[in-house]
Structure 1
Amino acid sequence: MTRFDRSSLSRREYARALVAAGGLSALAACLETSDGEPDVPSGTDDPDALPERQHAWNDTVATDDDGNVALPEHHVLVPIELTTVVDDDARETVETAFRTLERAYEWSNEGLVFTVGYTPSYFDRFDESLPDTVDLPAPEALTSGESPDFDAYDALIHLASDRPSVVLEAEEALFGEREQVNGVDLEVDLTDVFARVDEQRRTGFVGAGLPADYADLDGVPDSVPEEAPFFMGFRAGFTDSQATEDRVTIEDGSFAGGTTQHVESMAINLTQWFDQENHYQRVSKLFSPAHAADDLVGGVGEELGGSSLVTDEVIASTADDARDRGVVGHAQKAARAREDGDPLLLRRDFNTVDGDRPGLHFLSLQRAVDEFVRVREAMNGEDLDVSMANNGIRHYIFVERRGNYLVPPRSLRALPVADPG
C-alpha cells in the first residue's frame, strides 16, 4: 500500500501508520525503524506491587510544562470475544498473560500502560446481577439525531505507550504471535480464551504536532496548527477540567478500586471547522465566548497553562451567552455538570485516522456511567436557546459508536463474575 511507503512519510508518520495497520508485518517494520532508539525500560518482578487500580496511570506517565498529565502518544483499543467457559483455568491464563506484560514493560509512558474492561454483554452470561455499587447500563444514543453502533463484544483492552513498537508487540504477544516481549518469555497467551474482533480494532495518537502530520489526508486541512495535540487545534486535559483518579474510582462493594469507562468513536468535519470558522469563532465554540473576547487561549491553548479558565462565572453565563451572543462553548456547557466545582470525568481520548479520515476516540473514566450521561447531556445543550451551528462543537462531530465498560480492580481483571462478593 502506498500509504505505508516509508519514502513518502516521516519516521513518526510511518510509525503511526504501522500501529493503525497492526499485525506481525507492521510490528517487524516498526522494530526495524526503532533500531538505535533507547531500550524500552523493563517492568517489575513483582506485579503485585503495582497499584490495585488498573486506571492508575497519572503518577507514572509524563506531564507537560504546565503540570497537565500528558497521555502516551500511541493507543490501540483491542476488542475481544470470549471463546470458552469462564472458569478458574481460563482466569489463570488471562492473568498470567497480563502479568507477563507487566514484567516485560515498565508501567509508564516509556514502557506500557493498559487496562481491560468488560461490557454489559459479558456480564449477561451470569445468573447474578452486578452489585448496586456498579452502574453499567447497555450503551444507547445520547443525542437527538444520532444512531451509533454499540460495542457488544465481551471486553476491550486499551494499550498505550510512547513507543509504537510497544503497543504492537504487546498486542501480538497477547494473541500468540511472539515468543518474547522485551526480553521476557511468554508462558501463555489469550488465544485459548479470547478471539480478537478485528473489524472493531481502533487506533490513534495524541501529542503536540502529531495531527498536523496528516495534512495530506483527505479531510485534514493544512490549517491544522503545527503545535496542536488534537485535530481541532487546541490543547485539552487541563488539570482543572479533569476528574482525579480518586474521583472516578468505585468506592464500595465487590468492585471497589475499579471504574467505568465509556468509549465514543466519532468523525470530525475539520474542513468546515477550519475553513468556515476563524480563530475567534473556534475559541468561542470550543471554550466560551469570554475566552475569545478576552484573548485567553493563544494559538493552541498555550496561554491557559494548567487551567481551562472555565470559571464559575463562565459556567453561570452559559444561558445568557446562548441568548445574547448567539453562541456557547463546548467546555462551558459540559462544566455545568460539575459537582461542588469538581469535574466528573477523567478523559483519555485520542485522535484517529481509522478509515483514512480524521476522528476522535473519546475515552472517559467515571465512577458511574450515569455521570458520563449527565456530562454529555450538559454538553449537548439542548436546553439552550442557540442554533446547532453555534452550540459548541456539535455541528462538527458525528458519533458512530458507543460502548460502556467496567474496568475492575487489577485483582479482578481476569474474567470476573458479576458479583464477586
Structure 2
Amino acid sequence: MESRYPFSPAGVFVFVAYGVPYFNRLPGGLRGALVRGYIPRLRSSRNRLALEEAVPGPTDLAPSNPAISKATYNVPLVIEANDLLLTLRSDVLGKTGDVLDWLLRGSDQLNGQPVPSPHFNGLFSITSNRVMFQQMGLPRSVADEQGLAFAARVNVRSPMWMGFADQQASGSGPPEITTFQGNRSAVLTTCGPRSYMRNGAIQHLSHVILDLEQFYAGSDEPFTERVQYMFRSNPIPALGNPDQFADGGGPAFLENVFQGSFDARANAAAIKTFQGEHRMGHLAALQRSSRAADGTPIHIRMDGPGYDPLDVPDGSAQPKLQFTAFVPTADFFARMRRNQASLDLVRKYSVADENNGLERFITATRRQNFLVPPRRHRAFPLLELAD
C-alpha cells in the first residue's frame, strides 16, 4: 500500500493495531512469559502491562453502573474482542476506497497500477467498520442534507457535530509522549531504548452515539450552556452571539486552555463560575489527568464525526463520534475517562446531572483497546519469537 500511496494526507495513512485476543493466541497468552517479556509494564505498578482490555466508563451503560441511564439512547456497552484494528485515513476518500478494494475485495490494483491482492484464505473476517469524516462545516452539511431537526443550530464552520473545533494543536501532545518510551515530559512505562515495542503505543477505539436533539434542545440549551458543557465555567470561554441558537450561536474555534489539574474541582465547587453555578466542563474534567506535570498533553486524538445506524435501537442513522486516540498505556486512558465523568466531584459538590459536562449527551456502545506496534514489528508482533 505504501509503495503506491505516500504516508501523508494526500496519500493514505495506514495504522495496524492488535487487541488482547491476538496476544492471547500466542503461547501463554497475555499472561504468558512471551507477551509479558516484551510488552512494557507500568512504572507505577510493575505487575501490570501497558496493554489491558478496555473497561466501562463511569457513565456507560454496563452492569458495573446500575444507576446510569440516558434520556434517549440506552444501549448497553459491549467490550469488543477483535484481534486486529486497521485504520485508514486520507484527505481523498477515493484513495481509502481503492486500498480497501485491493486489500479486501481482490481488485488486484492500487492507484491505477496492477498489484496482486493478498489472499488471506479465511484468516480475517470483518466484524464492523466505522466511517468518519473530517472537514470544516461538513457536519452542518450532513445535517442539512438529512433534514435533521437541529440542523440550523449546528455551527457552519465546525468540523465536529457539537459545534466546537476539536483536536487543536494545544490539546494534543507531541507524538513521542504517547509512545511507550514517552519523552522528557512524561514516561509511564518501563520501555527502554532497545525494547522490542519501542515507539509502540496504545490505541483506544470506541463508538459513541450523540444525542444532539437533547444537546441542541429548544431554549434550554443556548450557546452559553453548551460552551460550558464542552470547556468550563471559570471563566466561560465566550458569551456567543445575540442569537444564541442560529448557526451554533457563537464561535466554533476557542482555545483549549489548560488551567491546571484542579480546575475541574473549582468549577464543581462553583468558585468564580459563570452565574455561580456548580458545573463540570468536559475538557476541564479530562485535564485532571490528561497532562504531564509541565502541562504537556499525553494523548493524540485521531477521531471524527460519523453518521450511520450502527447500534441505534430503531435502525435509523444518527450522529456519531467515531472516537480513537493514541495513549502510552491503557491505564492512562481509563483514568482519563473516569475523570471525564468526575462522579467523585459531582457527588462531593452536588453538581446536577444536567451540568456534568457532556456525559448525558453521549452513549458509548463499543469499546476496545489495541496495541500499535512499532512499524518494524507491525506484521503479527511477537509471532517470530513464538516456539
**Scaled by the length of structure 2, what TM-score is found?**
0.76
Cα gap change, 1:220/1:360 in structure 2, threshold over 3 Å: closer, same or farther? farther
1:283 corresponding residue in structure 2: 227
TM-aligned CA distance change 1:145 to 1:159, over 3 Å: closer
Q: Equivalent residue for 1:339?
A: 292
Report the counterpart of residue 6 of structure 2 in structure 1: 106
Match of 1:403 in 2: 368
| Letter paired with 2:51 | L
Distance change (3 Å), C-alpha of 1:138 and 1:318: closer
The question of whether the paired residues in 1 share the 8 Å contact of 2:60 and 2:363 is answered with: no
Pair 1:165-2:94 in alignment? yes
Contact 1:106–1:112 (CA under 8 A) maintained in structure 2:
yes
Counterpart secondary structure, 1:318? helix
Question: Is the contact made by 1:105 and 1:112 (CA closer than 8 Å) also made in structure 2?
Answer: yes
Structure 2 CA distance for partners of 1:149 and 1:418, relative to 1, 3 Å: farther
Indicate the residue corresponding to 1:239 in structure 2: 169
Name the counterpart of 2:45. none
Residues 218 and 296 (structure 1 numbering): CA distance in 2 closer, same or farther, change over 3 Å?
closer
SS at match of 2:176: coil
TM-aligned CA distance change 1:220 to 1:124, over 3 Å? farther
Deviation at 1:274, TM superposition (A): 1.0
Aligned to 1:21: none
Matched, 1:327 2:327: no
The residue type paired with residue 286 of structure 2 is A
The Cα of 1:311 is off from its aligned counterpart by: 2.4
Please list every run of 5 or more consecutive structure 1 residues that lacks an aligned counterpart in the other structure.
Answer: 1-100
| Selected match of 1:129 from 8, 14, 35 | 35
* AA at the equivalent of 1:272: Q
| Aligned counterpart, 1:152 | 81
Q: Which residue of 1 aligns with 2:262?
A: 316
Q: Which moved more, 1:280-289 or 1:293-302?
A: 293-302
Q: Is the 8 A contact 1:254 1:420 kept in 2?
A: no
One-letter amino acid of the structure 2 residue matched with residue 299 of structure 1: G
Cα pair 1:129 1:418 within 8 Å, conserved:
no
Deviation at 1:323, TM superposition (A): 2.6
Which consecutive residues of structure 2, in runs of 5 or more, have no partner in the other structure? 28-33, 41-48, 63-76, 182-190, 242-248, 271-276, 310-316
Map residues 122-271 of structure 1 onto 2, 5 A cutoff.
Answer: 122-127=22-27, 128-130=34-36, 131-133=38-40, 134-147=49-62, 148-192=77-121, 194-197=123-126, 199-215=127-143, 216-217=145-146, 221-222=150-151, 223-251=153-181, 252=191, 253-271=195-213
Shift of 1:172: 1.3
Tell me which amino acid in the other structure corresponds to 2:236: A
Are residues 300 and 191 of structure 1, via their aligned partners in 2, closer, same or farther at CA, if it must alter by over 3 Å?
Answer: farther
What amino acid sits opposite 2:79 in the alignment?
F
Aligned pairs, how many?
A: 315
1:251-287 CA-to-partner distances (Å, cap 9, x unmatched) read 2221111111001111001011112311000111100
Distance 2:11 2:39 in 1: 36
| RMSD (Å) for aligned C-alpha atoms | 2.2
| SS of residue in 1 equivalent to 2:160 | coil
Q: Which amino acid aligns with 2:138?
A: L
Letter of the aligned partner of 1:166 in structure 2? Answer: K
Distance 1:261 1:145, change over 3 A: closer
State the Cα distance separating 1:196 from its structure 2 match: 3.4
1:150 deviation in Å?
1.9
In the alignment, the residues of structure 2 paired with residue 375 and residue 220 of structure 1 have an alpha-carbon distance, to the nearest angstrom, of 33
Q: Aligned partners of 1:117, 1:132: CA distance in 2, in Å?
A: 14
Sequence identity percentage: 25
Q: State the Cα deviation string for residues 8-34 of structure 1 (Å, max 9, x = none).
A: xxxxxxxxxxxxxxxxxxxxxxxxxxx
Deviation readout 1:62-103 (Å, 9 max, x if unpaired)? xxxxxxxxxxxxxxxxxxxxxxxxxxxxxxxxxxxxxxx101
Measure, in 1, the Cα distance between the counterparts of 2:78 and 2:104.
26
Larger helix percent: 1
Whole-angstrom CA distance in 1 between matches of 2:104 and 2:352: 48
Which residue identity does 1:153 align to in structure 2? Answer: N
CA contact (8 A) 1:104 1:182 kept: yes
Please tell me whether the aligned partners of residues 258 and 408 of structure 1 are also in contact (alpha carbons under 8 angstroms): yes
1:365 is matched with 326
